Structure 1
């Protein structure tokens, strides 16, 4: 295992690499999350690949931006500088949740720098997926949890609460089995990054006219059968625009496929990246 801080786009970005072989670069969720969410659940992949994890701008152990320069485009360019720094000609990307949106956005910006895309807990290629995620999540909450969430969110906006308090309410709705929550890694989230990038997504995220750029890139989406964006809904917000995408449905799994079905996920990742290596 190797840990480093790399200066990318003017900020010290924390990276962690594990294993040897063909590199797989992991894009964590959020926005505002961190890479530790993937570990130790997917660490066994290091027997077959070199796993490259990093914390996005202002996230985890990466440096925060003093001018609040957080956006989809900043993340795209940070990833491009990371690719250059690592000397990788074409990236193999594993994007989870918001990381799936970043993976698609990067591929549209730099299609010749991408080898393959593996997405899980995907949100979509258009804004409807992102907005629909929030709407569906709220619809699943009990009346009490909805009321408690509204109170916590108000306190969070006034910097009187933490993101951890938010997740204590919504965590059970992210999984198929509540028992799996005990396996969730301890991570932290940057609410400022979440809010700023979230607003940027609402203003600028739309890949509906970008499909031709990705036609040559193999894409697999591994979606929990009970994810907040269900496989059926994913047909409308992603596969409709990228019809060559292969959809793998993970049974008895919610949004957090990484912690609920890591063995299934690793098997799909191994098979996919072993088949199409260029």
Structure 2
């Protein structure tokens, strides 16, 4: 398992494509997921000649899970140092949910290192309802009961149409959670606390200078349209796409529409 010590923690990472490629894409995970969540996406960019970098944040599945609290600035700094160790100077960032928030922090802190930014179902701040959703996840994670944790999170993540069509798939994923390492839940608690206590980027969005694509699932309950509207209003150079019949996890619910959007967008800036 490839690990790199970054800022005192071992981070799991993967690379694909030509290491000497002119353009590199870094995918940044949602909070509950790992690098495999991008399996439907990175092969297309690899075929187009890009270098691909993926990693788990500290606290996530295959990386170290130190005691919290963490900050988004720490996650962004970890990602920057990982890229430096791999010899990457400039990167296209694609992030979903928590990963989108890390991507924004990265673009704010290291504008010279970002060629473009794709933000999928991400927010620059939290409100009381989103806090309640995440506090609910935290309570479930503390119980360390995988299947109950999964089903407790599903209503805030997936759209109704996807759930109706994929009940068997979701049931299989729920059962797999029963075999997960208990350390996963400890890491999740730290990540949820980071989201609730440290997500406060709105006042700095004007510092993002790269072209940005904001993507929103139309029926996203966790980060509804008002949060995407804030991004579009405050980030200077943005394009905006709303995907119908889709909840918070657009990367799983509408992969074909999302692939078309992100490939077309990034090709404009290479």
Write the distance in 2 (CA, Å) between the matches of 1:116 and 1:84.
Answer: 18
Structure 1 equivalent of residue 28 of structure 2: 27
Query: TM-score normalised to the size of structure 2?
Result: 0.81
Deviates more, 1:245-254 or 1:11-20: 11-20
Query: TM-score normalised to the size of structure 1?
Result: 0.79
Structure 1 equivalent of residue 130 of structure 2: 133
- Could you say what secondary structure the match of 2:88 adopts? coil
C-alpha contact 1:8 1:78 (8 A) present in aligned 2:
yes
Deviation at 1:274, TM superposition (A): 0.6
C-alpha contact 2:215 2:242 (8 A) present in aligned 1:
yes
Write the distance in 1 (CA, Å) between the matches of 2:226 and 2:73.
Answer: 26
C-alpha contact 2:59 2:190 (8 A) present in aligned 1:
no
1:218 equivalent to 2:217? Answer no
1:249 equivalent to 2:242? Answer yes
Q: How many residues align?
A: 255
Deviation at 1:155, TM superposition (A): 6.5
Write the distance in 1 (CA, Å) between the matches of 2:153 and 2:43.
Answer: 26
Structure 2 equivalent of residue 6 of structure 1: 4
Deviation at 1:156, TM superposition (A): 4.3
C-alpha contact 2:14 2:54 (8 A) present in aligned 1:
yes
C-alpha contact 2:3 2:10 (8 A) present in aligned 1:
yes
Deviates more, 1:256-265 or 1:12-21: 12-21
Deviation at 1:62, TM superposition (A): 1.6
Deviation at 1:270, TM superposition (A): 0.9
C-alpha contact 1:25 1:51 (8 A) present in aligned 2:
yes
Deviates more, 1:186-195 or 1:246-255: 186-195
Unaligned runs of 5+ in 2: none
Deviation at 1:59, TM superposition (A): 1.7
Deviation at 1:218, TM superposition (A): 0.6
C-alpha contact 2:124 2:227 (8 A) present in aligned 1:
no
C-alpha contact 1:19 1:50 (8 A) present in aligned 2:
yes
Identify the match of residue 167 of structure 1 among 150, 156, 162: 150
Q: CA RMSD in A?
A: 2.9
Write the distance in 2 (CA, Å) between the matches of 1:113 and 1:154.
Answer: 37
C-alpha contact 2:216 2:225 (8 A) present in aligned 1:
no
Mapping for residues 72-111 of structure 1, pairs under 5 Å: 72-111=72-111
Deviates more, 1:87-96 or 1:13-22: 13-22
Unaligned runs of 5+ in 1: 139-148
C-alpha contact 2:40 2:255 (8 A) present in aligned 1:
no
C-alpha contact 2:116 2:266 (8 A) present in aligned 1:
yes
